[in-house]
Amino acid sequence: MTETRHFLEIDDVSTDELHEILDRADEYKRAQHAGEPHEDLEGQTLGMIFQKPSTRTRVSFETGMTQLGGHAVFLGEDDIQLGRGEPLKDTARTLSRYVDAVMARVFKHENIEVLADYSSVPVVNGLTDDAHPCQTLADLQTIRELEGGFEDVQAAWIGDGNNVAQSFAIGCARTDVDLTIATPEGYEVDDDVIERARDLGGDPTTTTDPLEAAADADVIYTDVWISMGQEDERDVRMQAFDGFQVNEELLECAPDASVMHCLPAHRGEEITDAVVESDQSVVFEQAENRLHAQKALLSWLLE
């Protein structure tokens, strides 16, 4: 019997598998733009568990399954027994008998691991507090489109060393993208993530100076300073991240860099409105690629 494949972290796939998924994402994007049908998952169902609300994750996965000829079922925490105390392992084993794959957007990373441990169908991490690998797939697809590949690409992460940053660090290591991470003290990417990146052959540079990170970068990437569930830390975080805004002054260090943001953006905080709306911004191309990359991932897992 074939072992069930899950996608909980970017390094759950090999370098060759990652490039295969990205190639497939490019083909799906080309087919959609050409109006060509690509119903490769006809009759299959994706169960989507949401403990955290979302715009891009829900719409891209649901639309993606429809375009692939399948069906997606939204399962909010209060819509299923999970919200009434059913153990995750029971939810996983039950859903496995109904659907062909499960995507879950949860708080604790250990919860996605439990789902995968007890699921007999593929489980996809739609986001946890530690990782956002589906976002990284779209990020890598975007970088490859912009740069024609990954060779000699210089990327800078500026801001919070959060779940998006951590998955991006692993993704850059997998593709040999040279990454510099600029965070305030106390908001760094976890040490174990840096070690995992180095084990993959990457060598991310860490600094507390955003201008140093941005200098000569091909890609500058940022995310919100205050993520969902951190609202009570707002005053402390706003003070800590002073000087880390991606703005016109910072872009003077990298006048040809493309600016990425996983959205939603808090304009006027981690990034200015002018930068989001500038010619250097690729945030909406990046958002579109969530759809294509996730279709590629699902078809790869379910083929």
Q: Which of 135, 166, 245, 280 is catalytic?
A: 135
User: Residue 255, preceding bond cis, omega within 30 degrees?
Assistant: no
Tell me: is residue 19 an annotated ligand-binding position.
no
Is residue 262 flagged as an active site residue? yes
Distance CA(298)–CA(101), nearest Å, equals 8
Tell me: is residue 132 an annotated ligand-binding position.
yes
Q: Which of 24, 58, 105, 261 is catalytic?
A: 105
Tell me: is residue 262 an annotated ligand-binding position.
yes
Tell me: is residue 180 an annotated ligand-binding position.
no
Tell me: is residue 253 an annotated ligand-binding position.
no
Is residue 223 flagged as an active site residue? yes
Q: Which of 6, 144, 290, 292 is catalytic?
A: 290
Is residue 117 flagged as an active site residue? no
Q: Which of 100, 262, 280, 286 is catalytic?
A: 262
Is residue 105 flagged as an active site residue? yes
Tell me: is residue 81 an annotated ligand-binding position.
yes
Tell me: is residue 135 an annotated ligand-binding position.
yes
Q: Which of 132, 144, 174, 261 is catalytic?
A: 132
Distance CA(187)–CA(166), nearest Å, equals 12
Tell me: is residue 237 an annotated ligand-binding position.
no
Tell me: is residue 223 an annotated ligand-binding position.
yes
Which runs of consecutive H residues, i.e. helices, occur in the chain?
A: 15-33, 56-67, 88-95, 109-118, 133-147, 163-175, 191-199, 210-214, 234-240, 248-251, 273-276, 283-302
Q: Which of 130, 139, 218, 223 is catalytic?
A: 223
Distance CA(1)–CA(234), nearest Å, equals 50
Tell me: is residue 163 an annotated ligand-binding position.
yes
Distance CA(11)–CA(8), nearest Å, equals 9
Distance CA(117)–CA(5), nearest Å, equals 11
Tell me: is residue 247 an annotated ligand-binding position.
no
Tell me: is residue 207 an annotated ligand-binding position.
no
Q: Using an 8 Å Cβ cutoff, are 48 and 75 in contact?
A: yes
Give residue 302's identity as a one-letter amino acid code. L
Give residue 193's identity as a one-letter amino acid code. V
Provide the b/e sequence for 93-116 (b: ≥16 CB within 10 Å). Answer: ebbbeebbbbbbbbeebebbbbbb
Annotation: binding site for carbamoyl phosphate: 54-57, 81, 105, 132-135, 262-263, 290
Annotation: binding site: 54-57, 81, 105, 132-135, 163, 223, 227-228, 262-263, 290
Annotation: binding site for L-ornithine: 163, 223, 227-228
Q: Which residues are annotated as catalytic?
A: 105, 132, 135, 223, 262, 290
